[in-house]
Amino acid sequence: QHQCRMAGKGIYFPDQKITVGDVEMPIVIFGDPAYPLMPWLMKPYTGALDSSKELFNYRLSKCRMVVECAFGRLEGRWRSLLTRSDLSETNIPIVIAACCVLHNLCESKGETFMAGWEVEANRLASAYKQPDTRAIRRAQQDAVRIREAL
């Protein structure tokens, strides 16, 4: 929940925005339907969809697949990314960046990546529940406007 509050305050992302139509949009993360819709976290539409919502979901899915593949490998190498972090908000981006750099070094040097690592990381990740608070539900109203504009 702490990370959600920090992300909502813009702590983790550059304060850069674009305007689409009349909606000002922050930098966003793409999530799957299990995540809460937030102004900084876009997820697909569910239920009966018109063609524009299906197109949005398709494009979101393509982007997410690339990101998920990369994060799957990253989490497979560095299991500490799967657990709750008690790091300060100052250190979280530094640790993640360090894991990314080390992972890229391993990939560029042809270090073996075991398929079982990613399977195990996915199994561990599925055990973590997402928060559901009143603050999240309030922020979802803003997120709906952003998703509609996207």
Output the tens digit of pLDDT for each of the chain's 150 residues. 555 555 555 556 677 788 888 888 888 888 888 888 888 889 999 889 999 999 999 999 999 888 888 888 888 888 878 777 777 878 888 888 898 899 889 989 988 888 888 888 877 777 766 556 666 767 777 888 888 888
Phi and psi, residue 48, nearest 5°: -70, 125
Cα distance between residue 119 and residue 91, in whole Å: 27
Centre a 10 Å sphere on the Cβ of residue 47 and count the other Cβ atoms it contains: 5
Helix (H, G, I), strand (E, B) or coil at 23: strand
Q: Directed axis angle between helix 115-125 and helix 51-77, to 10°?
A: 110
